[in-house]
Amino acid sequence: MLFKLPLKFRRKERSRSFCGVLAMINFYSTVNGTITQIEEPTAGCWISVVDPTMQEVKELIEDYGLDSGFVKSAIDEEESSRIEREDDQTLVIIDTPVSTMDEDNTRNFYTQPMGIIITEQYVFTVSLKETQVIKEAMRGGIRNLRPDFKTRFVLQLLLRIAALFLTYLKQIDKISSAAEQQLHDAMKNELLMQLLALEKSLVYFSTSLKANEATIEKINRGRVIKLYDEDQDLLEDVLIEMKQAIEMSSIYTGILSSMMDGFSSIISNNLNIVMWRLTIMTVILEIPNIMFAFYGINTVDLPMPYTWFAITLTLFLTGITAFVLMKWKRK
């Protein structure tokens, strides 16, 4: 049995809010066509688990009968995207995109796994952090989301994840374009660090998207999750969105890589220009030193040993040298 009288009291107490913060295990069901949080789990509801404690993990395994390996895999931040079935339970681990801002105002994008566990009575989402997709689902941001239709529920979450990948990829493109315009005016370390962060983010996205595609292809074969005729169009949409995200990620990776190579060449060229200017200044400044040191020698054999002649000759030689060097640079 999944329900015990003492457990109900614990669940009810956990479902309440404390100081305005919701508990980490929450129950949701469709009421009048809208996702609504409920006090007690009912058949066909969605159970959201975020950053569970050891006690909560134990309750998920013992009271809900979840496979311990499935729960541990769902909260493993290094777990890769995959789908697995054990007895009457199905585990789908999918990588979801995340966007954060560092203290130095550098935008970072990365992925984190989210586990979806399907049982006969419930559908669970388990993750270490509350993802954007889960937030949208909780507040009703995903239309026609019904946990009692488990296959459709999973596909709708996957479709929203694919759409979120596309949204973040477009943000990456806008950020890189803005950084490119600013780098034309001034080479700043902050902008270069932002581009490096974006390049790393695209690597994360590309790897996660390819793993997600393999998982969705396995779902498409219908051997692990039961597919219904009305879900085929939704599954095709998920595949199309995921393939489009993979293509965009590949394109943006190539563009950003070429951009970084181009800026490296520009920086190197600017450094050469600076070194050339310093060399010219050094050569020009050495001429007066040589001339005045030469005419400062205590000897009577110097030609025209007059101050005005030394100054005039120094200015003449300096001008000729500067003209020759500048003319040479233009060539």
This prediction has a pTM of 0.76
pLDDT tens by residue, 175-219? 888 877 776 655 666 777 788 888 888 999 999 999 999 999 988
Q: Which CATH superfamily is domain 5-268 in?
A: CorA soluble domain-like (3.30.460.20)
Q: What is the model's pLDDT at position 31? A: 84
Q: What is the model's pLDDT at position 330? A: 52
15 vs 221: which has the higher pLDDT: 221
- The ranges assigned to domains in the chain are 5-268, 272-330
Signed CA dihedral, 270, 276, 279, 285: sign only: negative
**Span 91-120, mean pLDDT?**
88
Among residues 4, 52, 47, the alpha carbon closest in space to that of 29 is found at: 47
Q: What is the model's pLDDT at position 300? A: 63
259 vs 76: which has the higher pLDDT: 76
DSSP letter string, 249-262: HHHHHHHHHHHHHH
Kindly tell me if the per-residue pLDDT of 113 is higher than 90.
yes
Beta strands across the sheet bearing 46-50? 34-38, 25-31, 46-50, 123-127, 107-118, 89-101, 82-86
* Residue 85 bridge partners (DSSP): 90
pLDDT tens by residue, 224-250? 787 877 788 888 999 999 999 999 999
pLDDT tens by residue, 25-60? 899 998 888 888 888 888 889 999 998 889 999 989
In what helix (H) or strand (E) does residue 83 lie, and over which residues does it extend?
A: strand 82-86
